[in-house]
A = this chain, B = another copy of it.
Amino acid sequence: MTDTELDLDDVDAAVRRLAGVAHVTPDVTSRTLDDRVGGRVRLKAECFQRTGSFKFRGAYNAVASLPPAARAAGVVTFSSGNHGQALALAAALHDVPAVIVMPHDAPAAKRAAASGYGAEIVGYDRYTESREAIGDAIAAERGLTLIPPFDAWAVMAGQGTLARELFATEAVDTLVVCVGGGGLISGCATVAKALGDVRVIGVEPAAGNDVEQSLAAGERVVLPETPVTIADGQQTMSCGDKTFAVMRERVDEIALVSDEEIVAAMRFAFERLNIVLEPSGASALAAVLSGRLELAGQRVGVTLSGGNVDLARFSALTAIEPPVG
């Protein structure tokens, strides 16, 4: 098992690196939501972060933390999603090369977003090739540093800056955080447990509950196949060794949400908050709206982790009738 090498000092070092670079995103509140929950809810709106998701925090901190020579050589990752865009921008801001490994059939918009920041896109066949192997090979051949999407201390520390901002404004009794690979919740739970007796709830899509299973089993569980869920940022088959080590120590419980509940949360954010959330970005809010978490009388912090969804997909998803009640 991996030792936990992540503490509040690491997050605070990330806070200093990100100062003036990352946005301090707003806390959004809603009396309608407070009334439903019976508590005081603050939504940390990372959909307004640079590149549209919290991923910029971790990617930038990881690049900024590299020794100068390694940083100058450049970075590589495998991600067709938010981490890829985030790393592309983080590298551009450091004026160093970035390679993003993406499947040949990744949406054109995602390729354009990463290449728009000056990154080189390397394609692969998702049915016959391993993105990890390609990433490792490119790193070795070109002398680049691989920055993984979540299982790296500097990435987790960067994501933890979100909780630092949330806690700086007002105290929190319960923190509700979406979980994919576990990078965001690892950083945020580290802050929560360092600052006080804060309950930390992770939220996974019901179809992909590998972290719930892992925490129950006391060891990292790998799902047999990619979970089928609209929450594409949470379609991980397993968390990482490092994120598992942090989560087993610092996460109190896992809540599961259905795709229908995620859509209902996307609709709520759209109509009540005037905020656009991608499915994964709405999952923590979905858990809060589900009524299954005991939050009455509490001060609750919730991550709205990202908003990268195009209008056509958003309209198609939200056209589904929401569940009654």
Interface of A toward B, CB cutoff 8 Å:
26, 28, 47-48, 52, 267, 270-271, 273-277, 307, 310-311, 314-315, 318-319
Contact = CB atoms under 8 A, between A and B. Distances in A.
Contacts of A28: 48
Task: List the 8 shortest-distance A-B pairs measured between CB atoms, nearest first.
Answer: A274-B307, A274-B276, A47-B274, A315-B315, A26-B26, A270-B311, A270-B276, A311-B318
Contact of A311 (B48, B52, B271, B275): B271
A318 B276 CA distance: 14
Contacts of A315: 315, 318-319
Contacts of A47: 274
A185 to B, nearest CB: 22
Given A270-B311, A275-B276, 17 more contacts: A26-B26, A28-B48, A47-B274, A48-B273, A48-B274, A52-B274, A267-B311, A270-B276, A270-B314, A271-B310, A271-B311, A274-B276, A274-B277, A275-B275, A315-B315, A315-B318, A315-B319
A22 to B, nearest CB: 13
A301 B47 CA distance: 22
Nearest to A274: B307
Contacts of A267: 311
A307 B276 CA distance: 12
Contacts of A310: 271
Nearest to A312: B319
22 contacts: A26-B26, A26-B48, A28-B48, A47-B274, A48-B273, A48-B274, A52-B274, A267-B311, A270-B276, A270-B311, A270-B314, A271-B310, A271-B311, A274-B275, A274-B276, A274-B277, A274-B307, A275-B276, A276-B276, A311-B318, A315-B315, A315-B319
Contacts of A270: 276, 311, 314
A170 to B, nearest CB: 15
A311 B275 CA distance: 12
Contacts of A271: 310-311
Contacts of A48: 26, 28, 273-274
Nearest to A304: B274
A277 B276 CA distance: 10
Nearest to A315: B315
A81 B102 CA distance: 46
Nearest to A109: B271
A315 B317 CA distance: 11
Nearest to A29: B23
Residue from the set A47, A274, A307, A318 with the largest chain B CB neighbour count within 10 Å:
A274
A315 B311 CA distance: 8
A312 to B, nearest CB: 9
A238 to B, nearest CB: 29
Contacts of A273: 48
